[in-house]
Structure 1
């Protein structure tokens, strides 16, 4: 293994690449075309990001709920509080809208004023029947006012479902087919049928309406993700190409680099299709990520080629040295970056595994493409013109490098004190970081659908479903008087929670049954007394068909019941408090030996997934640090060198975490990725510096001080270039409408900028401060990874061979 990465290997590889240029180009074209055929397998995710493993207890509880009651996230609500609604013309138009929506094949049921049904008692036989609330269009204002009064005063069952009594807001509840809730058909219905229908209604009747519900939110949110992929790719290409051209002042260098990363993006889509993965909010950032990571590879390779041309003017020699010298170090940097992402594969979350696998594969792929395309492209081109080499001697860059060298040479104590100060401040900030597990937190705040979410939170106390499943442990146990009373007591606890809406359950149905039994008198909207229950429920059991309300809240065996409530947007701490408070009180209401209570629902699963992800972050980041530490140990065989290489890369992560605490950016699924991404990339600078440092040690007869300054002078420019490209490349994500993606872009950009300064100031300072201990122990004499200069006769022989 050690011999694999010697100069001889890379020298041989350079010969193979440059002798077989045409075959390699044809091979790249063929692979790209084959990956292109895999694009047809790509599909966008139509479900929320479930960060928990399938066998996690929370997921198992949710699956059990689905087994008994089916998909819970199939409700879309359409509401208005327009004061003109309760006029005959617009009232009839609103009712007609419900009839129109009911005609769609994808709609199971519509509950609105237009098709509202009231429960009435019938005799011979004794039964309850649903009768239409409205039998014909209303013609006069007096009729409308009468219906309005009956709705708000006599039908408490429909409070929170059809109307909000406090503000007189009216809504229509639309239940879509459960079979399409998590499939493409949901998007087709909402985008191609529902939205045009609602827009036509809005324009025709000049009524302000609001639309929400999990299927609707999920669809428009997913559509935003789809739209942003193309924008991110184009912006990343534009920003990186402009910066690249600013540094190199060469159209052909810019074109070659863009061609390389564009092929890399095509391959990344192909890998997603080949693996048959869905494009989620995580995998959607991989294509622009490949651009941002690929450009630094191009910078190092092209910069080295131009340096060699400037030194001796021999193209064959320059191309050979580009592959043999920079290829080695670039491989190491890409392997460490890929390792940072690959640690996600070791988690138990399917979503993270897919993200880690696709990202790590494509990072290695973009390295291979860079190593092949750039030397081959330049081998067909003429020598760079003097104007293309001017950037190598830029005065301001020389001043920047000299400033770095002066700081390291004369102000190391200041560097250490500054580092310690940043560490202390960062730790203070870290203790202020909050955790966010809200499913709404990353959604674009400036969109109409998000503003509608706020409307429903204000009018109906939330839109995020929280389900409570009650297992009575015996068939037909739900309708027992004792169970219903316990459930009513539990629902009162839910009503007391400010962040939760009034719950819906079989208790509401039974209360409505009693009201119907007493001829619709609203004062009887209550649970039957023990002596009333048998004959009232006997009427309820005779309800037939889909009108039987019990089916929605009680399973077919009568053993399981559901209580549905909705949450406002809440923090992770608030969700945990609500959950703990409810579960604590359920033990007093529902004896464990007779009942099992489960809290579930998509919002709760997302919150649990966030907690799980935070734990996995610690594991994955620790694994990344361990892998890189092992790599450094194998490379240098020195514990001190492990510390020297890890410290400058951990400090920027701590600074970023502290900044999150002070600025108020919470830990959430999107921002959690910052640390693994930034660490994997920032280590690249360390490896480039240490690789050059190793070369200088050999050339300078193991004089550490001279080697450190020489390595700093040579690597500072490339590190500066790549860090600036990475900074602005990741800043592209800040144009996103998703708050999490904005935070991801800003935090990674800031971390990488800190990492550059840390590797150019703190890293060489540590090497110089440990000069004696390193020199005395000779820990760098025989590294496992040989990244030293070859002998002159080896170079000459290899270059003559390649030239030939």
Structure 2
């Protein structure tokens, strides 16, 4: 590497030309990012749950439904019914819509002598007051419609819009926004509400795009200001910024080049790369300024020596950070895995850019850099730097009060340990939206006034033809399962529908109500006749063509995945008893997939952190070259993780698709400053200093770059708090806090532990060289 650095310094023009040419294709890909937040993207293509969900859609049709809802004093007036009819027609003819179910096109079964006819709730023709009243009576007397397209009090109505499958979020978003615009244009002043999974998905996708446009430039500006305030050299600051811009272009460009998309998880890659990649630049630029002052202002020598002195610790910090992110490949949540892989590659790109390209930049812009160095030369001396002076005082205090520092650490550990026991895993896409968001407000309105809009799909499959759903017993099984689950999930599930409900309506109409409301036929022959009379479109969505599989569709309110676990646990305990040996069941649909993702997150947390911890500990052993020092060095890196997780437990922040990355990200990044601290501590020990003096000199040697990188990382992560999606906001706040706690760990806990334990690296105090001699030796 030293030879490569010498080449970069001596042939800097060629290096800069090659980097410029190589950046052009990455710039093109960076400008062509695509955005997608579909639930399928959170699973691998060969995932069993996704495969079953796809097969379910092939049999029963697409289950992506949006709801268009409004409330009025009385829905059943001629004017309002005419409006619903017109709105239904407009939406049904809209591109991307498969069908619409509303109050004005719904049909109910009515008995006519020895047969059954399906009559529309609202007949064609003029809507008179008499027709409106007849429609009221018909709609409110049929349980299939109540709670689905009309509320029980007749004041809220819902148009269920079944969408066609879409290839991309952008296409789906355009269709939904177009439907909303068309509906609002004819609303006549009515406040239309839009709800359902597709609306939430499209909204989150739009917010992700907005956040992506905001995070990177804001992070860039903040980093530029902080680096300038620390270095007090405009030229050095700008060169550092140019370097990290190239790194981000390469990192994100590579992501897009590989066909990946941006979503609520992968949106963090660009700003995270900005924050991480500046760390190596800060250490090299800061060390360059010190060397420039010490060696008689020899610019070329200072550039080369700075890169040669720091490439090893920078390599180890890059490897440990990369390992922290690369540990995500063990997860089963695909976007988290993508963040791990491409951030790890970006970190290694940042290493080579910092130790090879940054020196080339320093050589290429020598005049500007040297000019500013001479203007600010007094500030470059340690004696005149207030930050170094403050760090020297802090080092003296920590070493003198190392016992008290460790006692405070143990007290804090007890508190955060209890907080960690209160951690929970949760995934609720509707909760991702901020309070006050229109889509979220519409969801709450719809759920409060008429129905839930999250489909929970349960498939019951007959083991053999003898128990299929052409037998009355099969329908009774469906009915009993539906009733038991609705009772168990009361308050969360608002509506249920299956072929059993549909056949019961036909049976009631055929018998003139004598069989009783909700009764099912006893005769298989009658059941076959009802199938012949039924609307084929309804049957296609409720029972398979061979009558071996039946679908029970529950309408759930948006909520915690704890509800999905609740219904699964109940199904395992009770549904199996109802089904016996003749049937088997499986949950599918969006709610089921969210629940599966929640379980995957739990596994991911354990796998990724465990992998990262082991790999980083091994790497720290090579850095420390002492088993005892390696163990000591891991304590301050576990401190920020445990503290952050403890805070999450105390305040009730769940682990979800974004916050799940906190532990692995923190240990991968926090260990960077530990490596620099340990590296300089070892060098000072090898130069003959005792433990105390080696620690104090380490504070002066590398304390300022450690503070600079920590401030940059904290601030960069805090930028995420300006985001539009709650998990990203929480991730930013928690990751920023983790970086702050990591700084405390490196400047308080690590030196206190080293001083108390005194690993066999330094000479005894009595044998230590005088400090002036040590400085000369270095």
Q: TM-score when scaled to structure 2?
A: 0.92
Q: CA deviation at 1:123?
A: 7.6
Match of 1:554 among 533, 538, 543: 543
Distance 1:129 1:540 in 2: 13
Distance 1:522 1:667 in 2: 54
Distance 2:97 2:385 in 1: 69
Aligned counterpart, 2:732: 745
Q: CA deviation at 1:579?
A: 1.5
Q: Is the 8 A contact 1:61 1:598 kept in 2?
A: no
Distance 1:414 1:236 in 2: 37
Aligned counterpart, 1:502: 495
Aligned counterpart, 1:471: 461
Q: Work out whether 1:353 is the aligned partner of 2:337.
A: yes
Match of 1:180 among 163, 166, 175: 166
Q: CA deviation at 1:108?
A: 1.1
- Cα-to-partner distance string for 1:133-167 (whole Å, 9 max, x where unaligned): 23124244x54344333322x22221222112156
Q: Work out whether 1:210 is the aligned partner of 2:200.
A: no
Distance 2:136 2:375 in 1: 80
Q: Work out whether 1:96 is the aligned partner of 2:86.
A: yes
Match of 2:686 among 677, 691, 698: 698
Q: CA deviation at 1:647?
A: 0.8
Aligned counterpart, 1:590: 579
- Cα-to-partner distance string for 1:279-307 (whole Å, 9 max, x where unaligned): 22221110111111122222212211222
1:283-322 correspondence runs (5 A): 283-311=266-294, 312-322=296-306
Range 240-249 or range 328-337, more displaced? 240-249
1:354-393 correspondence runs (5 A): 354-379=338-363, 380-382=365-367, 383=370, 384-389=372-377, 391-392=379-380
Quote the RMSD (CA, aligned, Å).
2.7
Q: Work out whether 1:488 is the aligned partner of 2:475.
A: no
Q: CA deviation at 1:529?
A: 3.7
Range 707-716 or range 727-736, more displaced? 707-716
The DSSP-based 3-state class of the residue aligned with 2:186 is helix
Q: Is the 8 A contact 1:438 1:603 kept in 2?
A: no
Q: CA deviation at 1:37?
A: 3.6
Q: CA deviation at 1:207?
A: 0.5
Unpaired runs of at least 5, structure 1:
1-8, 778-788, 796-804
Unpaired runs of at least 5, structure 2:
765-773
Q: Work out whether 1:637 is the aligned partner of 2:625.
A: yes
Q: Work out whether 1:567 is the aligned partner of 2:552.
A: no
Distance 1:653 1:271 in 2: 30
Aligned counterpart, 1:724: 711
Match of 1:621 among 609, 614, 628: 609
Distance 1:601 1:266 in 2: 38
Q: Is the 8 A contact 1:555 1:561 kept in 2?
A: yes
Distance 1:567 1:552 in 2: 18
Flag the 1:398–1:745 CA change in 2: closer, same or farther, 3 A: same
1:64-463 correspondence runs (5 A): 64-72=55-63, 74-83=64-73, 85-121=75-111, 126=115, 128-129=117-118, 131=120, 133-140=122-129, 143-152=131-140, 154-166=141-153, 168-177=155-164, 179-180=165-166, 184-191=170-177, 193-202=178-187, 205-311=188-294, 312-379=296-363, 380-382=365-367, 383=370, 384-389=372-377, 391-392=379-380, 396-463=386-453
Distance 1:522 1:108 in 2: 37
Q: Is the 8 A contact 1:164 1:460 kept in 2?
A: yes
Aligned counterpart, 2:770: none
Q: CA deviation at 1:549?
A: 1.4
Distance 2:385 2:300 in 1: 29
Distance 1:325 1:57 in 2: 51
Q: Is the 8 A contact 1:708 1:764 kept in 2?
A: yes
1:600-679 correspondence runs (5 A): 600-679=588-667
Residues matched between the structures, number: 759
Q: Is the 8 A contact 1:127 1:540 kept in 2?
A: no
The DSSP-based 3-state class of the residue aligned with 2:468 is coil
Q: Is the 8 A contact 1:156 1:525 kept in 2?
A: no
Q: Is the 8 A contact 2:222 2:715 kept in 1?
A: yes
Distance 1:241 1:79 in 2: 49
- Cα-to-partner distance string for 1:424-446 (whole Å, 9 max, x where unaligned): 11111111222213233323333
Q: Is the 8 A contact 1:106 1:189 kept in 2?
A: yes
Distance 1:772 1:131 in 2: 86
Match of 1:680 among 668, 671, 679: 668
Distance 2:180 2:651 in 1: 38
Distance 2:528 2:593 in 1: 35
Distance 1:121 1:264 in 2: 73
